[in-house]
C-alpha cells in the first residue's frame, strides 16, 4: 500500500491544532461546573465528543483506513494490515480535570504494522510534537534533533505511580540508579519530555492508543521502545512498556525483575 507520510503529517498537525483549540475552550468551561459529579460527566462527554470529531475527520480524509481508539467510536481492528490510525482524544484525564495543564491529545498512523506517523499536542502549551522515520521530527514548525543517548545515571526517569510505589518488577532499583524520579501523569506529555531529552526513560502499563504516537516518534528519534519481557510490541494489546534512550533501556532490562 502506498502512503504519503508528509501528507499524513500535515493532516495530523491541522487536526490536532483544531482539537487543541476546542479542548482549551472545554478546559475553561469545565472550571465553571460546580459539583464533582457534573464535572466528571462533562469531562467524559468532552472525551467522547473529541474522539468522535477526530475519528470523523480521519474517516473523511482516509476512508479506507481503520481506527483504534479509546472511547469506542473506532473500528473492531483484529490485525494491523493496511493503514491504521490510533486515537487518544484526551490523554492525562486526571490532569485535565484536576490541574488544567499537562494533558495531551494523540494520533498515530501505522502502515501494515509499521510505525509511520505520530502527533501529540500538549494542549495548554499549544505545542505539537509530530513526525516519523521518513520525514523527521518537529515541534510545531521547528525541526528537532534526536536526544543524546544518555546512560541511566545521567537522566531523570518517569514511571507510572502505581508501578513505582508498589515497586513492581523491582523498578525502584532502576529509579535509584537514575538522576531522579518524576511523575507527570500523562503519557503524551512524557513522550514530549523524552523527545526533548528532559527525561531519559518512561515505564508504564499502556494501551495501544497511549503508546502509538509516542512509539512512532521515539523510535524515529533513535530511542528504544520495548515490552518488559523484551518481546515485540503488540499494537493491539495493552502491555508494560519501557521507552528510553538505548543505553537506559538496556540497563533497565538488566535490572528489572520480570519473574
The annotated binding site for Mg(2+) is made up of 70, 88, 90-91, 210
Query: Per CB under 8 A, does 193 bind a second copy?
Result: yes
Can you tell me which of 182, 205, 219, 233 binds a second copy, judged by CB under 8 A? 182
Candidates 67-75, 137-145, 179-187, 222-230; binding stretch for a second copy (CB under 8 A): 179-187
Nearer to a second copy, 143 or 148 (CB): 148
Calpha distance 50→88 (Å, rounded): 9
Q: Does 156 bind a second copy (CB under 8 A)?
A: yes
Nearer to a second copy, 193 or 215 (CB): 193
Identified binder of a second copy from the candidate list 5, 42, 184, 219, rule CB under 8 A: 184
Is the CB of 115 or the CB of 244 nearer to a second copy? 244
For residue 147 the three cell numbers come to: 536526544
Nearer to a second copy (CB atom), residue 7 or residue 183 = 183
Distances (CA, A) of 174 to 133, 149, 155, 159, 239: 29, 17, 11, 10, 19
By CB under 8 A, is residue 198 in contact with a second copy?
Answer: yes
Identify which of 16, 46, 245 has the alpha carbon closest to the alpha carbon of residue 139: 16
Of 85 and 129, nearer to a second copy (C-beta) is 129
3-class secondary structure, 240: strand
Q: Is 67 helix (H, G, I), strand (E, B) or coil?
A: strand
Which whole-number Å values give the CA distances from 45 to 29, 38, 40, 42, 50, in the listed order?
A: 12, 10, 8, 5, 8
Rg of the chain, C-alpha, whole Å:
18
| Contact residues for a second copy, defined by CB under 8 A | 36, 94-95, 97-101, 154-156, 161, 164-165, 167, 172, 175, 179-185, 193, 198-199
Amino acid at each position: 500500500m502506498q502512503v504519503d507520510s508528509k501528507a499524513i503529517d500535515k493532516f495530523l498537525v491541522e487536526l490536532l491544532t483544531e482539537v487543541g483549540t476546542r479542548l482549551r475552550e472545554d478546559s475553561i468551561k469545565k472550571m465553571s461546573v460546580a459539583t464533582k459529579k457534573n464535572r466528571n460527566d462533562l469531562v467524559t462527554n468532552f472525551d467522547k465528543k473529541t474522539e468522535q470529531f477526530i475519528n470523523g475527520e480521519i474517516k473523511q480524509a482516509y476512508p479506507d483506513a481503520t481506527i483504534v481508539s479509546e472511547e469506542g467510536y473506532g473500528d473492531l481492528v483484529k490485525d494491523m494490515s493496511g493503514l491504521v490510525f490510533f486515537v487518544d482524544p484526551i490523554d492525562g484525564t486526571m490532569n485535565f480535570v484536576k490541574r488544567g495543564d499537562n494533558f495531551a491529545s494523540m494520533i498515530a498512523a501505522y502502515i501494515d504494522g509499521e510505525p509511520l506517523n505520530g502527533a501529540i499536542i500538549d494542549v495548554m502549551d499549544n505545542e505539537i510534537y509530530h513526525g516519523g522515520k521518513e520525514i523527521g521530527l518537529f515541534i510545531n514548525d521547528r525541526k528537532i534533533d534526536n536526544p543524546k543517548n544518555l546512560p541511566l545515571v545521567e537522566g531523570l526517569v518517569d514511571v507510572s505511580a502505581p508501578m513505582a510505589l508498589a515497586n513492581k518488577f523491582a523498578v525502584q532499583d532502576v529509579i535509584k540508579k537514575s538522576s531522579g524520579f518524576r511523575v507527570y501523569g500523562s503519557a503524551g506529555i512524557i513522550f514530549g519530555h523524552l523527545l526533548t531529552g528532559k527525561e531519559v526513560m518512561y515505564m508504564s502499563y499502556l494501551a495501544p492508543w497511549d503508546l502509538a504516537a509516542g512509539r512512532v516518534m521515539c523510535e524515529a528519534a533513535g530511542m528504544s521502545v520495548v515490552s518488559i519481557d523484551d518481546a515485540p510490541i503488540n499494537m493491539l494489546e495493552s502491555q508494560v512498556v519501557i521507552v528510553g534512550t538505548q543505553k537506559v533501556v538496556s540497563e533497565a532490562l538488566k535490572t528489572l525483575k520480570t519473574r
